[in-house]
Each structure stands twice: as structure tokens, then as C-alpha cells.
Amino acid sequence: MINKLFENSTILVTGGTGSFGNDFVDKIVKGFPFKEIRIFSRDEKKQFDMRNRLNNPKIKFFIGDVRDRESIFKIMKDVDFVFHAAALKQVPTGEFFPLESVKTNIFGTANVLDAAVEAGVIKVVVLSTDKAVYPINAMGMTKALLEKLMISKARNSNNKNVFCGVRYGNVMYSRGSVLPLFADQIQKGQPLTVTNPNMTRFLLPLPVAINLVLHAIEKGENGDVFVRKSPAVTIETIAQAMLNIFKSSVGIKVIGIRAGEKVHETLVTREELMKAAEDRDYYRIRNFEQLDYDKYFTKGKIDHIPEEGYTSNNTKRLTLEETQKLILSLKEIQELLKWKKSK
């Protein structure tokens, strides 16, 4: 079905030079027919590197910022599918500069959605995060509003366009994540800095995250948010696995929880579980309801309320051996091990 969707189609990836964008475009180029892919991002160096690596005349690169309404409207012309990955994603950055997160994650998203409507885009998939669920930090709060913007646009689209989203936890070895930090600390002979040994996080290899997005483009209807079921692991287990893999004795240093961090993350709230469809691998949260004020203010819905949502504390917990196996499957880790062996 995706072959039919993408054939003779123009695809836009905002923030397309990031970890997701690089691997996502690789997947499309190798596996699906398409007319054109447009990469829209701010970083000319990353665009230069990606252009040289791919060397494909059907992939076009555009410098711009989703905050700039005019630039995103120009680039949206004749686009069929949009994957909105542009965002400020780092929790500490959001805590120090919350307004910058608002400008990119909220106003930038509004610009993308508005431009998609004007251009008659077939489907838009926005990328969200577990930190948008019961958010306690600026990044999560802005991502939660990103989802609300998408849902609002879906509600008012009259099915002329489809707006849906995905929500996932930590993508392994993505920029700014803990695995590259630990790898760098091991190479420098420094102890691995762990905020709280018992802190848990969902783990999602990037190829699985990409398949989640493709699942959304194939199955998504207006207002849907798709969640990929994922295992979780404690931060201490991740650190110990990295020490074992690299046969390092630098040890672990506990530094304490930083501002804006949770001990456990949630991917689906208990309220969302009431309306979510579930299969073996995914939750599909249905959000497409018209604003019926009588229903919102005077009527209720009697239903079973789960005791808790789908969290990194109640999902499948990986053992040390399972964590090592998963980390060893990453191409970045394999390359580092080859480099270490050659020294």
C-alpha cells in the first residue's frame, strides 16, 4: 500500500537532516518508489553532508526554519506527504530556553499544518514523544501542544487532508541520547554519569521508529496517534551493558536527577487507554471527535478506567543480557567496536 501511496509523490521531511530524517530517507530511497523528497532544515553543514552521501537528484535540499511561515509555505507547494520531525528535543535546552521550544515546537508546527492545508497535502504525520504525556518539562509541554494542534487541524479538515501522529520513547543512539554520551565517556576514560540508577526509559531502535511512522502513513486517519509498544530498561542497566560491551572499567557515577526529568515515562495515559485500539505491536489512540459542547460539559461516558497508563515501569523490562544484545545490534556501536579493534 505504501508503494502505491508514494509512487509519483513528493515527500517533505522537516528537520530532515537529523537522526530520524537520515535513516527515514534511506529507507524510502532503498524501499519505495517516489517522485521527489524534499529535505527542509536549518543546518547547511548537515545538508551538505547528506547531499554528498546520498548523491540522488530526486532528493532536494532547502534551507529554512519552520518558525519562518513564509519559507514553509513556499516549500509546501505540490507536496503530497509531510513528515514533521523538526523540533527542539533536548529537555535541558527547553528548561533554560522555554520560549525557544514554544517558537519551534508550537508555532513552527502551526506553520507546517497551515501550509499543508493550503497546499492540499494528502497526509501529514507529526512526530511526538513520551515526554508529551503528563508533561513536567517545557519540551514535553510543547510537544503535548503539538499533538493538540494536529488533532484540532484534523477535526476541522473535513477529510480533505489527513493529520495524524506518532509518539515514541527514546530512540537509541539518536543525537543527544544517552548511548552516544556513554560511548564518548568510555573513549575518554571517564565514569558513566547516571542520574538515577532506577530510572527507566523506553528503548526503540531507529528502524523500529521509522516503521512506526510508515505504519501511521499507511493506517492513520484524522486525529490518530500511534504508539509502538516498546521494552524498557533502567539507566543503570544501560550503563552496565555499555561497560560490558566495551570491556571498560571506568565505572558509574550517580549525579542525581536533573530538572525536568521523570523517574518513569508514560507513552499512553490511562485516560487514552479507554479509547485506544490495541494490537500486538501498537496502540492507536483515536482522537477524532467533533466539539460537541453538550457532550463535553453535561454528559459523561461510563467506562472502565485502567489503574495506570502504559509506562516504562510496567512494560516489558529488559535484562542486562537482552540490553547488551539490543545495543550490539546498532550500527553505530558496531562501527565503534571495529574502530576500537583496529587501534
Helix (H, G, I), strand (E, B) or coil at 233: strand
User: Is 131 an active-site residue?
Assistant: yes
Q: Which residues pair with 62 in a beta bridge?
A: 40
Q: What is the dihedral of CA 300, 304, 309, 313, to 10 degrees?
A: 160
Separation of alpha carbons 224 and 276, rounded Å: 10
Angstrom CA distances, 287 to 50, 252, 334, stand at: 36, 43, 41
Cβ neighbour number for residue 339 with a 10 Å cutoff: 10
Which entry of 4, 27, 30, 131 is annotated as an active-site residue?
131
E runs forming strands in the chain? 10-14, 36-41, 59-63, 81-84, 123-129, 162-168, 170-171, 192-194, 200-204, 225-228, 232-234, 252-254, 266-268, 276-278, 282-285, 310-311
* Residues taking part in catalysis: 131
